[in-house]
Structure 1
Amino acid sequence: MPAYSPPSHSQAMRNPFLPDQSPPSPPRTRSPTRSLRAFTSHLLNKSGKPWATLSLLGDAEHSKTVPVFVEGSPVTGEVRLDLESGDAIHAVLLSLRGQIITGATPSEMVTFVDLPITLWSRSMGDPRKPGGGGKWSQKLRGEYVWPFSISLPPTVTLPAAVGRAEEVFRLPQTFFERHTRGQIEYEVTVRFTRTKLRSDHRLSAPINYMPVSRPGPPSRLRQLAYQQHTALLGPDSDPEGWHTLPSVTAWGKLLSTSRTVEAKCRLSLATPLCYTRGSSIPCALVIECNDPQALTLLASPESAVLRLRRSVRFHGGEKTVAHHGDVTTKLVWKEELDHSELASWWPAADRALETDSTDAIAIHAYRRMLKGEIHLRADLMTSSAIAHFRIEYSVVLFPFDAPGYESLDHEPLLSADNKHLYAPATLPPRSSL
């Protein structure tokens, strides 16, 4: 593990504990006029020319290969026909659907939102001026354009199991990873219906949905530190600004003497426990050990191993979404774990013990504090919880990894559950995740 040095102004990762750093910039507000990027899908005729086109206008800032629609912005686009010969189309139907997919069978595909609209049908009259006349009885030929705009609700209400009330969930972010079985998928589909003797045509395109939220304000002392460009106070001096977990004991052996040692560890995370993608999680670790040699080894910034853990949990086999409320002991939950960001540490003064008291000095000799941060990638998925699908985050403290020290712990020392992580930093504030 490489040694840590405090980042400079030119580095991307900001050290929130150093006094010479600028306070964090507020999230950029979005312009009322969005910049849009068009994505098109086609159906081709026998000569290879498009006869049906589905166009979607995604947010240009976030759309790369797939149109992205941010919470609060409508899903907009148009359906275009270019028919060289007459076609007896009876209706043009559009739907926007969101699904949880945990397998290939229909029972493993649960729809949590389905928004259908009729762009045109024969009962609406002239396809170029829908609603302006009587029933249309002719074949369609030539060019036709039907624009559309669909507003996705920020939440959906899903039925629970028998005996339990319905539950309200926020729409989750699109989630697809090649090596993860569970998925969250959104898709826009247009269907051209015909008579029973002729087959319908379908044209579908995936979209990405991005929910919006922002953490609440930090503690008053942390805000003051940002304003005055001073170092952030630690957990003892600013208890309102930190969430401190119960102490845990780490056991190990010094290789030079084969002596078994124990150390008490207390981890603190900055509050509120909701963080912005692309920023960092400030953290503090207090280590107490009555063996000076062991304390020196464990309190080295290279020895403490704190990582961000993502858990994707789901269970499959449900025929309807109502099964998500069943008793958990009757369900087989599958969990896929991913450990990514590693905390960077540096030694920190323990201000609570900076005193002339002889007792305090004695205690300080057996106590060290590390301060650090976990940098959060800008492309992390937001935490989600809907029906039988969960994306959750936690901060996990693993056994110490220090030269000359052999850990006797075979499992993580502690896990700080953090199920409300991450909101895009470039988006306006909304209700917290």
Structure 2
Amino acid sequence: MSLLRDIVKKRKDASKRSDAASVKSTGARSVVASLYSLAIGGQRVKKRRRPDFSTLGAPEWYSEDGNPRLPSDMPGTTTRTDLPAYTIAHGTVLALRIEDKNHWLSLVLYSHAKESSLAAMYHNAAKICGEVRVCLEKTKNISSIEVWMSAVAPAGELISLTATVWNRSMGDPRHPQGAKVAFKDKFPMGTFVFPFELPPLPKFVPVAHPDSSDNRKGFVPLPRSFWKDKVYGDAFYQTTSIDSDNYWFLHQCGVGIRRDSVAGIDEDMDMILQYIPLAPPLPRKSVPFPFLASREDWPFKRETLGGWVLTPFGGRGRIGLEMVEVEGLLGIQDPSIVTAGHKLEFVVILWSKSADALQLLGQPAAINVSYCMADFMPSSEALRPREQSRTTRKIEQMCRGRIWSTDTGRPSEGAPELALVSPEHILQKMSASRATPLKPPAPSRMQSTWSADDQDEDDGKEVEDIVQGDLEDSSEHFVRLEGEIVVPPCRPVSYRYTEIGREYTLELQFAHHLYSHISPTGPGLLAEVPVWYVADRPLRGGPATLNDDPTYLESLPLNGATIPIPSDAIRWPKVIGKHAVSSRGGLAKLGQSFLGLVPPKSQQHADP
């Protein structure tokens, strides 16, 4: 029993030992409250440590037998509904086979893409429209011509739209307005044009709860097209293997040729396209930072107060042999919506009982302000945010911002950065503590006579010393800083989907070579707040009704390759597509790019 008491018992002058320097600085009130909560089973004293994990964009879950409703727009944004007429065409052709002398199948898509883009581009609730061109120099055994549009992610297919522009039940291809009598012959020679229009792209797509035991469903915005490694048009495109990367969304539109003969081989080709949701941020009025009378008014979790999103953070470490604790509050204006070129302003308030800690960590040179992107590794935390979300992200810094003390004011443009300062009195204090010799180790209690009465008396004196020391050091110190960072262009926009997602954050790291960080784990004090990145772009064009005018569509500039349309080409009426209820079938290949065909500028008026 005496050995157990020897281990538990502390020396009366424990605060002077180098291996127990943190005992006194802990604070008697916190120690007593924590021990009391352990004894009676209550809650521990709350601490402001790690910033909260992000829940922006997380879906709301509904039971299968409930009445799910589509979510509203992200607060602070609006959806573009003023889409004009399409302004450009993109074409592709089916690669030649051995028996083919010329290209005979082409797909043309009309969109809002830029002239420099290599892929068609669509936005909110757009109707993908185009035409299939068939030019045969000899008859072919074709039973149907189908158009398919799909959006695919690592977790599976998001959407699937289809339109059958021709099949045998629709009659003779040479007579679009003829009787709908089943056509039994081979597809005739000639040039045929089959216009089509697919249903509007959905704004939201359903997702399942990541827990296999939970059958609830939710909705998230349809993610934009996203590849990696190489720029393809205005999107990222991976040249090696899309399946080798877990961060991609592939939107594509293709044509399927179906044959009904015994030796017939179905042919499919696809054309990559881009989908970018446009959600411009709403105008926001600037509001002053909320007044907080004392640190007790600070929140323990991220919350919105007075038009500001406040994120508490904190940590503890050492300055020499002194244990210090620092807490802070990072605030940005609500809602947390940013876009390219947006100047994100923020406010930071630091608190500590150690004036030395704030002199070191509260100077602008000790704070690294960065705008970061974070990809969720394949995990359930993308749709179900929780504490583990911090460990399932791959974070990359995109740009840096600047910060200044509120007392000194905003620095002028082009002003040099301030150098990191190490106050002289702190250096002297640390040198003095290192020069103080350590006391020899105390003899073991097993080698001395122990008295229960003496032990109780010693414990009482020790607690009295700690409480007295804590009362003497009750002063609090505050530092306020302000800063800003210009948001760079980001691809893709913020999104969440099954097991993957992309979010953007404002991060502040506090570090100084005289401060040794202990808790929470990390290189230094960290403050982090998530923001939701949205995109917008100017669109120019006539009224959307022009999309129904074939003459207008044929006059649009063309990028890519296609089959020229002669004057005697047979044009079928536009076919309106639908949502697919069955799989496409077949193995689609990417259409061939512009190689040796009629140049785009002369295609519209060229004859075969």
TM-score by length of 2: 0.52
Q: Does 1:135 align with 2:245?
A: no
> Displacement, 1:124?
0.7
1:50 maps to 103
**How far does the alpha carbon of each residue in 1:177-201 deviate from its partner, in whole angstroms, 9 at most, with x for none?**
2495232111112100012421011
> Displacement, 1:115?
0.9
Q: 2: CA distance between counterparts of 1:262 and 1:251?
A: 7
**How far does the alpha carbon of each residue in 1:83-134 deviate from its partner, in whole angstroms, 9 at most, with x for none?**
1111111111111111112xxxxxxx51121111111111111335546322
> Displacement, 1:370?
1.9
1:242 maps to 308
Q: 2: CA distance between counterparts of 1:164 and 1:28?
A: 33
Counterpart selection for 2:223 from 172, 183, 200: 172
> Displacement, 1:335?
4.4
Q: Does 1:125 align with 2:171?
A: yes
> Displacement, 1:250?
4.8
> Displacement, 1:176?
1.7
Q: 2: CA distance between counterparts of 1:163 and 1:404?
A: 50
Q: 1: CA distance between counterparts of 2:336 and 2:162?
A: 38
For the structure 1 residues 287 and 334, does the alpha-carbon distance in structure 2 shift closer, same or farther, using more than 3 Å as the test?
closer
1:104 maps to none
Q: Does 1:148 align with 2:196?
A: yes
Deviating more after overlay: 283-292 vs 169-178: 283-292
> Displacement, 1:27?
11
2:136 maps to 83
1:106 maps to none
For the structure 1 residues 63 and 289, does the alpha-carbon distance in structure 2 shift closer, same or farther, using more than 3 Å as the test?
farther
**How far does the alpha carbon of each residue in 1:33-86 deviate from its partner, in whole angstroms, 9 at most, with x for none?**
443242434332546632111122232349723222111322222211121111
Q: 1: CA distance between counterparts of 2:508 and 2:111?
A: 40
Instruction: Name the structure where helix makes up a greater proportion of residues.
Output: 2
Q: Does the Cα contact within 8 Å between 1:128 and 1:145 map onto a contact in 2?
A: no
Specify the code of the residue in structure 1 equivalent to 2:87: S
Counterpart selection for 2:158 from 96, 103, 112: 112
Counterpart selection for 1:191 from 256, 260, 263: 256
Deviating more after overlay: 377-386 vs 79-88: 377-386
1:67 maps to 120
Q: 2: CA distance between counterparts of 1:278 and 1:164?
A: 41
TM-score by length of 1: 0.70
1:251 maps to 317
Q: 2: CA distance between counterparts of 1:71 and 1:182?
A: 22
Any gaps of 5 or more consecutive residues in structure 2?
A: 1-77, 230-243, 293-303, 410-473, 540-608
Q: 2: CA distance between counterparts of 1:159 and 1:241?
A: 33
Q: 1: CA distance between counterparts of 2:482 and 2:153?
A: 40
Specify the code of the residue in structure 1 equivalent to 2:183: W
For the structure 1 residues 365 and 380, does the alpha-carbon distance in structure 2 shift closer, same or farther, using more than 3 Å as the test?
farther
1:263 maps to 326
> Displacement, 1:415?
5.6
For the structure 1 residues 297 and 184, does the alpha-carbon distance in structure 2 shift closer, same or farther, using more than 3 Å as the test?
same
Q: 1: CA distance between counterparts of 2:305 and 2:214?
A: 42
Deviating more after overlay: 366-375 vs 205-214: 366-375
> Displacement, 1:348?
2.0
Question: Which of 1 and 2 has higher RCO (CA within 8 Å, sep 6+)?
Answer: 2
2:480 maps to 369
Q: Does the Cα contact within 8 Å between 1:56 and 1:77 map onto a contact in 2?
A: yes
Identical counterparts, % of pairs: 21
1:360 maps to none
For the structure 1 residues 334 and 285, does the alpha-carbon distance in structure 2 shift closer, same or farther, using more than 3 Å as the test?
closer
Q: 1: CA distance between counterparts of 2:526 and 2:476?
A: 25
Q: 2: CA distance between counterparts of 1:110 and 1:30?
A: 31
For the structure 1 residues 143 and 62, does the alpha-carbon distance in structure 2 shift closer, same or farther, using more than 3 Å as the test?
closer
For the structure 1 residues 187 and 29, does the alpha-carbon distance in structure 2 shift closer, same or farther, using more than 3 Å as the test?
closer
For the structure 1 residues 277 and 209, does the alpha-carbon distance in structure 2 shift closer, same or farther, using more than 3 Å as the test?
same
Q: 2: CA distance between counterparts of 1:193 and 1:78?
A: 17
Q: 2: CA distance between counterparts of 1:127 and 1:416?
A: 63
For the structure 1 residues 290 and 379, does the alpha-carbon distance in structure 2 shift closer, same or farther, using more than 3 Å as the test?
same
1:214 maps to 280
Q: 2: CA distance between counterparts of 1:27 and 1:73?
A: 12
Q: Does 1:303 align with 2:413?
A: no
Aligned length: 359
Q: Does 1:313 align with 2:341?
A: no
Which has the higher Rg, Structure 1 or Structure 2? 2
> Displacement, 1:202?
0.6
**How far does the alpha carbon of each residue in 1:153-197 deviate from its partner, in whole angstroms, 9 at most, with x for none?**
112235666763432232111122249523211111210001242
Q: 2: CA distance between counterparts of 1:365 and 1:349?
A: 18
Q: Does 1:336 align with 2:394?
A: yes
Q: Does the Cα contact within 8 Å between 2:383 and 2:497 map onto a contact in 1?
A: no
**How far does the alpha carbon of each residue in 1:357-409 deviate from its partner, in whole angstroms, 9 at most, with x for none?**
xxxxxx999432221223222233222223333223333333x2346555445
1:356 maps to none
Q: 2: CA distance between counterparts of 1:235 and 1:211?
A: 34
